[in-house]
Structure 1
Amino acid sequence: MQEFDYIVVGAGSAGCVLADRLSENGRHSVLLLEAGGSDRRFWIKLPIGYGRVFYDERVNWKFETEPDAGLGGRSSYWPRGKVVGGSSSINALLYVRGLPHDFDDWRDGGASGWSWDDVRPYFEKVERRIALDETSEGSGPLQITNVARRAHRANRHFFAAAEEMGLERTADFNGNAPEGVGTYDITTRGGMRHSAADAFLRPALKRRNLALLTHARVRRVTFDGKVATGVEYERNGVVESVRARGEVILSGGAIASPGLLQISGVGPAPLLARLGIPIVKDNPAVGGNLQDHIAISYLYEASEPTLNNQLAPWWGKLRAGLQYAMARSGPLSLSVNQCGGFVRSHPKAARPDLQLYFNPVTYTTAPSGKRPIINPDPFPGFVVSFQPARPTSRGRVDIASPDIATPPRIEPRYLSTNEDLDKVVAGGRLMQAMVATKAMRKLIRVPIEPDVETLDEAGLVADFRARAGSVFHPTSSCRMGREGEDAVVGPDLKVFGLSKLRVVDASVFPNITSGNTNAPTIMLARKAADAILRDA
């Protein structure tokens, strides 16, 4: 049986960072196990290829939630990366640290050492930021690009509308003044996606002390009493075991990590007993506290050309393709999510509580086929969208079978608190005010039903329940906190009651951050790696 100092399960955003950092000094052997395959695919590397991998089962787990009462009994689609780089290889590329109070709330909730002052240096360690003038700041491995000058000109109407409304303007969501509206930074390098695999893992694989196994699905963590000794995985139909001299580190994300704990005997005792799984550690919090962002979009036909005009017709696709091939520029080099911001739903709000998106593109035709492709509409259109930044509803994710190949039961329990319902109404009112501005009136030709301006308070909630969907930010299902207080790991990310086992990914967030979750996941892994090395 092979042995390594560290076994990292999952080559997603966190796993790639851990593999890089833990192998860096050359003193530790590291095995990285990934259930998916290679990320060397054209549609992954092309920034706007997001629409091609969104439903592609070759690189995407394509999870479905249970019917959710908060959404009127609808299920939600939850894409997650099944590929090297994880969801950083298939996401919409936005890089958003979150707001400083998010991390102070982590500290106050029992995650000592994870305040904004504690985590900010670790964001800076991973970042190399490319400004508008092409100058760079920072020497980290991950390239983050400011694309404000390359964003679609239709965005000017959004900024003018925000100014009419008195909303703040920010030049940098990741800077000292993140509140306001602006253009989102994206993780690209030379016009191509710069995933966690590109930034951290690929350079590290040159080291002899790091091994990567793809198409290796971990079946369970092995234990000697309360001590994690290694993992059992299946690859090419063969079951293998591997031992960890140091630690086993789960980095499968907010869906896979709690599932792997449960199937290994760590989780709610009634669930494990019902499924016939021997109990190693009873902890009802494993799989609990699940959080996600949920958003609604309002669509409009536009009075001037948008990205639809560039990407819907064949000649537009050809032109954009040539522009990208020749200069790695143009619409194919950008995210579909171009601008938005963090704003207060009303002037008396204590802090920004809504995240906004403005996209100069619409998709109203449902894609079909085995691997559906999302295509823009054949008319000019745009989207305004909002999500409650810090939802308070919490759900669960649990295994449905002792067989790890069986899809889990995901219960988001969206809109299960009055506070979240209040934010739905507040966000709807803000959208009504925005589309009523003179600036937006210039861009709107006609609303695509339903028209948000016609909805009263009850109508806003009913429409949200009927149409809102996940923004694909699952977190907190193995939350970090104090032992005995509905948590799975401590601030050191060690699993309570067990030895030589940690969880390092978005599942340990004490609560969801205000924005997109890829950046804080990368930060968390970088900070965790230093703690692991100190212990060594």
Structure 2
Amino acid sequence: MPRRLEGDYDYIIVGAGTAGCIMANRLSADPTKRVLLLEAGGNDNWIWFHIPVGYLFAIGNPRSDWMFKTEAEPGLNGRALSYPRGKVIGGSSAINAMISMRGQAADYDHWRQLGLAGWSYSDVLPAFKRLEDHFLGASEHHGVGGGWRIEAPRLSWQILDAVGDAAEEMGIKRIADFNTGDNEGTSYFHVNQKRGRRWSSARGFLKPVLNRHNLRLETNVLVDRLVIESGRAAGVQFRQGDETIEARAGGEVILCAGSIGTTQVLQRSGIGPSEWLSPLGIDIVVDVQGIGRNLQDHLQQRAIYKVSGVRTLNETYYNLFRRGLMGLDYAVRRRGPLTMAPSQLGIFTRSDPTRSRANIQFHVQPLSLDKFGDPLHRFPAITVSACNLQPTSRGTVRIRSAAVDDKPAIAPNYLSTEDDRQVAADAIRTTRKLMKQKALEKYQPEEFLPGPSVGDDDTSLAKAAGDIGTTIFHPVGTAKMGTANDPLAVVDERLRFYGLHGLRIADASVMPTITSGNTNTPTAMIAEKGAAMILQDAR
């Protein structure tokens, strides 16, 4: 028998990542509501969670990353990819790229067109603004005073300026802000930092309110399953150390464990496709076909170009004197390469002129490496990654067994549609065109990946995309929001679970379609909007 956790709770939140920290902040603001927040990772008491360049050490490290891997992907020519997810309070916002990106107004207007009332861009904009403390100040687009600090980058690179000039030569306009509804153009990314330090969801929303008497945080907790009684989510059962513990919720259980974690908890609870769960010996509580399906992610083609006559981080990193100066600059001024997000320059454009809106995003980096967790290359180079913003491929997340610590089978199914293969090929062509612009001539860019031996025809480029394509760490959609007549819908437009009372999901898994850009900020918005709905419904 599991031990009963002392105390009665109105709300139990599973996951203290980007969404869970915001949810806990908002729900515990009412002193009459008792909130329990459960996090599978630990506290963010490691220096590399706070120095921005720490992602180089956090991704691929079991201290900070769940170390998931995908299945071997046919579209990637049989390769399996590492699939990082944050293992700490703040979740992936503690190890991610720190890029502040909402996507496009058309993304949310599409959600509304799917029948999801309250999710158009004009509906979600107030939630985005409430979250923000934006360096540009209050305006029709941005807010101030929120917990989500957004600042301009604190360094620049001559080679990235030149890539921006090259984009202009191609007809891609410079813009000042990607987050005004239409992100087509080129600019430096705004970042979730405060004076040169990473600003995770835990720092912005959780830590300032941990002194509230009605909020309890438990870390290093693996939530095994939901407790279901009479068609209602009555609580959760979790493992902490060697002990199994049960906690009860008088109000609601809110899953904020992300597209992977939320799916695992539901499927272990007997909630999901019966044909997946029954062979594992799991009793079916609710047969919900959408749980674990509809996985979407942004696949990027990581093109690498050697350059000459200009500084990149590669050679700086291997020069001990320069590394010392980098550390000194950070210690004294909180500036320099240690404040770097993984990508600094962004370019949003169309893979071909027939597209109705920007459908590829470039992340341009003044560095190169084989993959995150590997050392930088010893030659000066830049990475010019183009990702498909609106992929049509859909994948799955499935538990392998009922064991709480068993890693799931993640199959994104990349490049499984003709449209995605065409966009990937066109994205590499666009990259090559960009790097041949006059603004870059003096730096003599030389294609290292995919390599000059790769032809420019569709077949060669699609195969190259499979060889060099990798995740940009944006899994969404595995418990999608939809109308009651959608066979894959898991929650309604108020994030209430179809088929069980007292259960909501408020994380990236509810996105019906992926947003056109980095997904951390949209996930924060979902939590902000979801918390407001929960409080409103409770009244």
Matched with 1:466 is: 467
Matched with 1:447 is: 447
Matched with 2:521 is: 519
Q: Residues 285-328 of structure 1: CA distance to partner in whole angstroms, max 9, x if unpaired?
A: 11000000100111122111112233232222211011101111
Contact residue 274 and residue 284 of structure 2 kept, 8 A: yes
CA distance in 2, matches of 1:24, 1:449: 51
CA distance in 1, matches of 2:136, 2:532: 29
Alignment of 1:114-263 (within 5 A): 114-131=119-136, 138-147=144-153, 150-263=155-268
CA distance in 2, matches of 1:228, 1:450: 50
Contact residue 152 and residue 307 of structure 1 kept, 8 A: no
Q: Secondary structure at the match of 1:349?
A: coil
Length, aligned pairs only: 526
> Structure 1 unaligned runs (5+)?
368-372
CA distance in 1, matches of 2:418, 2:225: 39
CA distance in 1, matches of 2:482, 2:228: 24
Matched with 2:421 is: 421
Question: 1:352 is matched by which residue type in structure 2?
Answer: A
Residue 385 (structure 1) shift: 1.4
Matched with 2:369 is: 363
Matched with 1:398 is: 398
Tell me how large the CA RMSD over aligned residues is. Answer: 1.6
Contact residue 267 and residue 283 of structure 1 kept, 8 A: yes
Matched with 2:386 is: 386
CA distance in 1, matches of 2:426, 2:306: 24
Contact residue 428 and residue 452 of structure 1 kept, 8 A: no
Question: 2:295 is matched by which residue type in structure 1?
Answer: L
Greater CA drift, 105-114 or 86-95 = 105-114
CA distance in 2, matches of 1:182, 1:116: 22
Greater CA drift, 390-399 or 301-310 = 301-310
Q: Secondary structure at the match of 1:156?
A: helix
Matched with 1:33 is: 38
Question: 2:304 is matched by which residue type in structure 1?
Answer: L
CA distance in 2, matches of 1:6, 1:412: 32
Contact residue 132 and residue 146 of structure 2 kept, 8 A: yes
Contact residue 15 and residue 37 of structure 2 kept, 8 A: yes
Q: Residues 423-443 of structure 1: CA distance to partner in whole angstroms, max 9, x if unpaired?
A: 112212211211111112222
Matched with 1:332 is: 338
CA distance in 2, matches of 1:341, 1:314: 33
Question: 1:233 is matched by which residue type in structure 2?
Answer: F
Contact residue 432 and residue 453 of structure 1 kept, 8 A: no
Q: Secondary structure at the match of 1:150?
A: coil
CA distance in 2, matches of 1:344, 1:452: 23
Contact residue 170 and residue 177 of structure 1 kept, 8 A: no
Matched with 1:430 is: 430
| TM norm structure 1 | 0.95
Question: 2:296 is matched by which residue type in structure 1?
Answer: Q
> Structure 2 unaligned runs (5+)?
none
CA distance in 2, matches of 1:528, 1:445: 47
Contact residue 398 and residue 410 of structure 2 kept, 8 A: yes
CA distance in 2, matches of 1:345, 1:66: 28
Contact residue 312 and residue 375 of structure 1 kept, 8 A: no
Question: 1:429 is matched by which residue type in structure 2?
Answer: R
Contact residue 111 and residue 482 of structure 1 kept, 8 A: yes
CA distance in 1, matches of 2:306, 2:435: 13
Contact residue 227 and residue 237 of structure 2 kept, 8 A: yes
CA distance in 2, matches of 1:173, 1:335: 16
Contact residue 77 and residue 467 of structure 2 kept, 8 A: yes
CA distance in 1, matches of 2:375, 2:197: 20
Question: 1:363 is matched by which residue type in structure 2?
Answer: L
Distance change >3 Å, CA 179–CA 242, structure 1 → 2: same
CA distance in 2, matches of 1:381, 1:492: 47
| TM norm structure 2 | 0.95
CA distance in 2, matches of 1:186, 1:150: 12
Q: Secondary structure at the match of 1:350?
A: coil
Question: 1:311 is matched by which residue type in structure 2?
Answer: Y
Matched with 2:479 is: 478
Matched with 1:317 is: 323
Residue 408 (structure 1) shift: 0.5
Contact residue 128 and residue 137 of structure 1 kept, 8 A: yes
Residue 445 (structure 1) shift: 4.5
Contact residue 301 and residue 424 of structure 2 kept, 8 A: no
Question: 1:520 is matched by which residue type in structure 2?
Answer: P
CA distance in 1, matches of 2:514, 2:112: 13
Contact residue 110 and residue 480 of structure 1 kept, 8 A: no
Matched with 1:370 is: none
Q: Residues 469-522 of structure 1: CA distance to partner in whole angstroms, max 9, x if unpaired?
A: 100000000000012411111111111011000111000001110100000000
CA distance in 2, matches of 1:221, 1:229: 8
Question: 1:386 is matched by which residue type in structure 2?
Answer: A
Q: Post-superposition, which runs of at least 4 consecutive aligned residues in structure 1 deviate over 6 A?
A: none
Matched with 1:43 is: 48
